[in-house]
Each structure stands twice: as structure tokens, then as C-alpha cells.
Structure 1
Amino acid sequence: MRASVHPRVRGVLAAIATAALVVAAVGVCGDASAYEDDAWREAAQSFDRFLDDHPWVARDLQRDPTLVNDPGYLEEHRSLREFLEDHPRVRGELRRDPYAVLRRQHRMEREERREREITREEMEGFDRFLRDHPAVAHDLRSDPSLVNSRSYLGDHPGFRDFLHDHPAIRQELQGNPYAFMRRWERYAEHSEHGGKKAAKQR
């Protein structure tokens, strides 16, 4: 026999259930909207620029996002520690859920990459730089991953500055160094053949 529930008790239970649903919904929406306000977008863009300028840190955090909360890692990477000290919103979100923040940064990077296709002029600029710096060209042909080496960029400030001034090239080159260098080699070969053909026609 099914037990009856007093109408007043039934009303209280219904109110509790409704309140629980509201709290859950607010919690979910709060988590989703935590990354949607203008302040966070600005902070995330700053973090994105930091990772662009420090590819070795970006590579480490991609492998293990929890390093951002590791005192030992922060001690060895003063630039990251100082960035987090200057950006408390980013620091707080990373402490709360580093995996979620890094996933969102990765999505932001993909979106920016789609928006910033490499133009012919940008590839021409990269080609000119390597022609003017044959030692760098030789190094990158031999080992494209050097573009993500902190020590290599430190030893070649001209190359580091070029990447800083050409964010589209930097993102593609550091994100896919081997593929980008193959793309450049095809471009350089095509340009060289085109130049020789034009010279013969004169």
C-alpha cells in the first residue's frame, strides 16, 4: 500500500527540489560564464601572448597543466611566476582548474590561427629573413624544433625579434615547425625557379 504524503509536506519537498535544480543550474551557468566576461577575455589574451613569447613554457604546460601550480616549476621559471603575480585572475583560474584554462587557451589559439592565415607577403618576409640569416636557415633546416628552444632564441635575438613582430608566422612555425619549414622550402624553391625564369626572359 502506497503511503500518502501530507499536502504541506509535499509542497515543502517540491520547493526543496526546485531550489536544488536552480542552484545546480546557476552553478553550471556560472562555470560556463566564468570565461565569458570581458575581464577574463582580456586576461586570457594576455596569457595567450605570454605563452606565444615563451614557447618552452607553453610546451611544458601542454604536457602537464598542473605545473602552473608547482612551486618548484615556478621557481625555475621566474617569468611565469611574475606573470601570474601580475595577473591574479589568470592565477586564480589556473589554481581552480588548470586543465580547463589550458583547453580554452588551445581553442583560442586555433581560432586565432584560422583568423590569421599566412599571407604571401608574410611568407616573403620570412623567406627574406632566412636569406639574410643563412646560419638560422641552416639550423632550422636541420632541426625545425629549435624554434621552440629558449636557449636558441636567446642566442639569436634577431630571430626572436622577427617572430615577436610576426605573430602569424610565429604561431604556425612554433605550432608545426616541421610542416611549416617544408612549406617554406616549397615556397623558396618556387620563388627561386620563378626568379630564374624571369631572368632568362629579359
Structure 2
Amino acid sequence: MNRVTVAIAAFFGLALVLYWQAQVKRSEMEAVKVVGIERPDFIADDLRTTEYNEKGLIASKVTAKHMEHYASSDITHFTEPVYLIYSDNSQAQWQLSADNGQLNKQSNKVSLENNVIIDAIDIEEPLQSVTTQAVTLDLSTMIGSSQEMVYIKGKGFMIQGLGLHADLNTQKLSLLSKVEGTYESQ
């Protein structure tokens, strides 16, 4: 064999070895897939939405400083959300606000965290305000719960306790433990 034939054979041999190494590295990288950070499907700033019931009446209104929706999990994250909950006759009953919130559309539950305040819209309501650090509200049943310390203010009373079970439809509230109250005679 002459030198040219040997050089060509060596060149093709080297090319074959390099191609084989590249394929091995590619298959190793595919085997070790890194789970990436999920990106939101859409984002909104200064969000304002209104949801209507089947009768065409307002069911709820939501405002938020910032919102991110993830379609793969059907979860929406809110910054500084404010929910206005309406009764069946389209009268605003409750305003819920917090520093952070999350809506899970599959379970139809809202989780509010950090400086959660639930205010009655009607100033004639006996129960005026509920404050806690975290609460979960089922929007289908309007039943809320919390395992955190809860502070309740009403006309002539203040109550605090650990844990909460609240039915916003019937306006019944239960504190689960360590309940203390102060009542003012009028």
C-alpha cells in the first residue's frame, strides 16, 4: 500500500471513531434528562376578571397584582389577590385578600397565604373580619379551612383560636382548638 491509501484509511477510521463517540455521548445525555423548570402558559399583570354563574349573574370577581397560569397542572398563581364572592342573588358577600394565592381549577379550590383577610361586605353582618396566615376555600361548596391561628372580629366581640372550619353560605364558623374570646356588652 502506498502512503496515500494508508492516510485515507486512517482518516476514515478516525472519522468513524469520532462519530461513534459523539453517538455514545448523545445517547448518554438523552438517558439523563434533566427536568426543566416549568414555564407559565400565560402571565397577566394588574389582572381583573369577573366570573358569571349559569343564570348570568356575577359569581365572583378577582383582581391581582400579578398572575401566572400553568395549563399542564391547571394551576394559577396570584400575587396580592383580592376575591369578591357573590351570593346567588348577585350581591357581594365576602372579600378575601392575601399576599399570595393559588387556584387549582381541577379541584376548584383557592389557597390563600400570608396576611389572609376575609371581610364581610355588609357592615350589618355580626361577623366582620377573619384574619389568618393561610386558608383553603372550596369554591364549589364555599367551605373554608385553616390549620393556622385565626383571629375573628365582629360586632362587640373578638375571638381567636387555632384552626378553622367555615361555611360561607350559612355563615357558620368553627374554631377547632385553643379558643379565647373577648365580648363587649352593648
Same fold (TM over 0.5): no
TM-score in terms of structure 1 length: 0.28
Compare the two structures and name the one with the higher helix fraction: 1
Compare the two structures and name the one with the higher strand fraction: 2
Structure of greater Rg: 2
